[in-house]
Amino acid sequence: MTPGVRPLVAGNWKMNGLKASLGEIAAMGEAARAGGAGAAELAVCPPATLISQAAALLADGALAVGGQDCHPKGSGPHTGEIAAAMLKDAGASYVIVGHSERRADHGESDALVRAKAEAALAAGLTAIVCVGETRAEREAGRALAVVSGQIRGSLPPVAEPSRIVVAYEPVWAIGTGLTPTAADIAEMHAAIRAWLGEIYGPGGATIRILYGGSVKPANAAELLSLANVDGALVGGASLKAADFLAIAGVYRNT
Ligand code: 13P
């Protein structure tokens, strides 16, 4: 946690979810309305096909809706792609960019991720920019250097800090049930905080830095209590409202 910073718990549904899954989102909205996340903000990033319907269920803003990726250009001949303005038009207020699955599956570079983040900001969205090292990079003692490069290369150099969220997701912790030690997470988040200060000045102190990678109800309390951990980006455990809400429930008494 960072004093004075409103935490964010965001669910990334990845390539999961059909119309039949909207009941989970409705349940998340109901619980959020009932105060289930305390002072924390909640967001869900379903596949693009469900954004409009999710947004309609959440029109009161109990839970924000986000996309999982956007194209750097505003429109044009890019078959199959989705522009940030389209996500906004569908009811999204967030978009994830630079997720490690996209960096790996689609060869996305830091420069492309930055261009996507800039497109998101231009469309009025808040960008959740993902960074994180591979297992080989951590074992080689290069985790800090790798993430430093990603932060400097992927973040828009000029941005309103409230419209930027950083998600630190070690690649080897995603979907594996493995998490870094509390000390390793705290070290990385403190380093990211310092780099954000170099890029954005005092505003960098207010940017939310989420942890992602095998966040579950059982480990959420420990992970989310760490210094400079301002919430979570949750994959698998966000598909079920009960698990997602159990994670967000960590903030009920804070
Ligand atoms: P898991 O929570 O399934 O490990 O996924 C994390 C993630 O990639 C969120 O973006």
Residues 93 and 198 in one domain: yes
Q: How close is the Cα of 62 to the center of ligand 1, in Å? A: 22
Which residue's alpha carbon is nearest to atom 2 within ligand 1? Answer: 235
Q: Is residue 141 part of a domain?
A: yes
Residues 79 and 197 in one domain: yes
Out of 24, 99, 101, 137, the active site residue is 99
Which residue's alpha carbon is nearest to atom 9 within ligand 1? Answer: 235
Domain count for the chain: 2
Is pLDDT of 254 > 90? no
Residues 135 and 86 in one domain: yes
Which helix (H) or strand (E) element contains residue 131?
A: strand 126-131
Q: Is residue 160 part of a domain?
A: yes
pLDDT reported for residue 168:
98
Selected residue with higher pLDDT from 36 and 168? 168
Q: Give residue-wise pLDDT tens across range 91-108.
A: 999 999 999 999 999 999
Range of the domain at 61: 7-67
Is pLDDT of 158 > 80? yes
Can you tell me the mean pLDDT for 131-139? Answer: 98
Can you tell me the mean pLDDT for 159-165? Answer: 97
Kindly indicate the confidence band of residue 148, based on its pLDDT and cuts at 50, 70 and 90: very high
Distance CA 152, CA 156 (A): 9
pLDDT reported for residue 253:
74
Q: Is residue 41 part of a domain?
A: yes
Is pLDDT of 197 > 90? yes
Q: Is residue 232 part of a domain?
A: no
Residue 222 bears catalytic tag: no
Which of 161, 99, 151, 153 is closest to 130 using CA atoms?
99
Residues 85 and 191 in one domain: yes
* Pocket perturbation via mutation, ligand 1, pick of 14, 95, 216, 240 by most ligand atoms within 8 A of CB: 14
pLDDT reported for residue 37:
87
Cβ neighbours around 172 below 10 Å, total:
21
Residues 62 and 73 in one domain: no
Amino acid identity at 103: R
Convert 88-99 to b/e letters by CB count within 10 Å (16 or more is b).
Answer: bebbbbbbbbbb
Which of 164, 171, 237 is closest to 196 using CA atoms?
164
CATH of the domain at 120: 3.20.20.70
- What pTM was computed for the model? 0.98
Q: Is residue 212 part of a domain?
A: no
253 by Cβ neighbours in 10 Å (0-12 / 13-18 / 19+) ranks as exposed
Q: Is residue 132 part of a domain?
A: yes
Structure tokens at 190: 């403190």
Can you tell me the mean pLDDT for 175-200? Answer: 98
Is pLDDT of 36 > 90? no
Domain boundary among 181, 207, 233: 207
Can you tell me the mean pLDDT for 64-74? Answer: 98
Is pLDDT of 138 > 90? yes
Can you tell me the mean pLDDT for 183-211? Answer: 98
Domain boundary among 165, 191, 207: 207
Q: Is residue 238 part of a domain?
A: no
